[in-house]
Chain A
Amino acid sequence: MLLQQIINGIVVGSVYSLTAMGATLVYSILRILDIANAGAYALGAYVGLFSYVATDNLLLSFLIGMIAMGIWGIFVQKFLYLPLLGKSPLISLITSIGLFIFLGDFIRLWAGPQIKDFPADLKLPFSGIKTENLTIMSVWILVLLTTAILLLTLWYLITKTKIGLAWRATAQDLEIAKAMGINVNVVVAFNFFLGYSFAAAAGIMIGIMYNFISPTMGDVPAYKMLAIIVLGGLGNPVGAVVAAMLIGLIETLVGGYIGFFLPRDSIAFIAVIIILLIKPQGLFVRKNI
Chain B
Amino acid sequence: MLNFKKIGLMGLVTVFLLVSSFLVVYGAEKPIKLGFFAPITGPAAADGESCLQAAQLAIKLLNEGGGINGTQVELVYYDDAFSPPQAVIIAQKLTTKDGVVAVVSGSYSHTTRASAETYQNAKIPMISAYGVHPDITRTGDYIFRQSFVGAVQGRAAAEVATKLLGGKTISVIYVNNDFGNELSKSFIEYAEKKGVKILSVDSFSLGEKEFTPVLTKIKQENPDILFMVAYAGEGAQIILQADAIGLKCQKLGTEGVDSTMQFLKVAGKKADGLIITTNLNRDSERPEVQNFIKAFTAEYGYAPDMVGASVFDAFTVLGYVMKNYGTSPEEIKNGIYKVKNFPAVTGIIKGYNELGEVTKTVQVQKVVNGEFHYFSEITDLEIVAPPTL
Contact = CB atoms under 8 A, between A and B. Distances in A.
Interface string A208-221: 00111011100110
Nearest to B220: A1
Contacts of A112: 49
B266 interface: yes
Number of contact residues on B: which range applies? 35 or more
B326 to A, nearest CB: 37
A1 B166 CA distance: 28
Interface string A259-289: 1100111000000000000000000000000
Interface stretch (A38-46, A52-60, A248-256): A248-256
Nearest to B302: A114
Dominant secondary structure of chain B at its interface with chain A: helix
A135 B204 contact: no
A251 B49 CA distance: 34
A5 interface: yes
A115 B217 contact: no
Interface string A108-121: 10001111010010
A135 B244 contact: yes
A212 B239 CA distance: 13
A130 interface: yes
Contacts, number: 103
Contacts of A265: 205, 208
A1 B215 CA distance: 11
Interface in A219-238: 219-220
B353 interface: no
A130 B266 contact: no
Contact of A108 (B41, B216, B269): B41
A8 B212 contact: yes
A219 B42 CA distance: 10
B85 interface: no
Interface in B153-203: 176, 200-203
A260 B203 contact: yes
Contacts of B266: 115, 117, 211-212
A214 B49 contact: no
Nearest to A216: B43
B359 to A, nearest CB: 33
B114 interface: no
A105 interface: yes
A120 B49 contact: no
Contact of A212 (B42, B176, B236): B236
Interface in A188-221: 206, 210-212, 214-216, 219-220
B281 to A, nearest CB: 23
A219 B210 CA distance: 15
B338 interface: no
A126 interface: no
B209 to A, nearest CB: 5
Given A1-B216, A210-B237, A115 B232 contact: yes
B214 interface: yes
Contacts of B262: 114-115
Nearest to A209: B209
A260 B216 contact: no
A282 B244 CA distance: 36
Contact of A216 (B42, B49, B208): B42
B245 interface: yes
16 contacts: A108-B41, A113-B48, A114-B46, A114-B262, A115-B46, A115-B261, A135-B245, A206-B209, A210-B209, A210-B240, A215-B45, A216-B207, A219-B43, A220-B209, A251-B210, A260-B204
Interface of A: 1, 4-5, 8-9, 12, 105, 108, 112-115, 117, 120, 130, 132, 135, 137, 206, 210-212, 214-216, 219-220, 251-253, 255-257, 259-260, 263-265
Given A108-B45, A137-B244, A255-B214, 11 more contacts: A4-B245, A135-B244, A210-B209, A212-B233, A214-B46, A252-B212, A252-B213, A256-B217, A259-B214, A263-B203, A264-B208
Interface of B: 40-43, 45-46, 48-49, 176, 200-205, 207-210, 212-214, 216-217, 220, 232-233, 236-237, 240, 244-246, 261-262, 265-266, 268-269
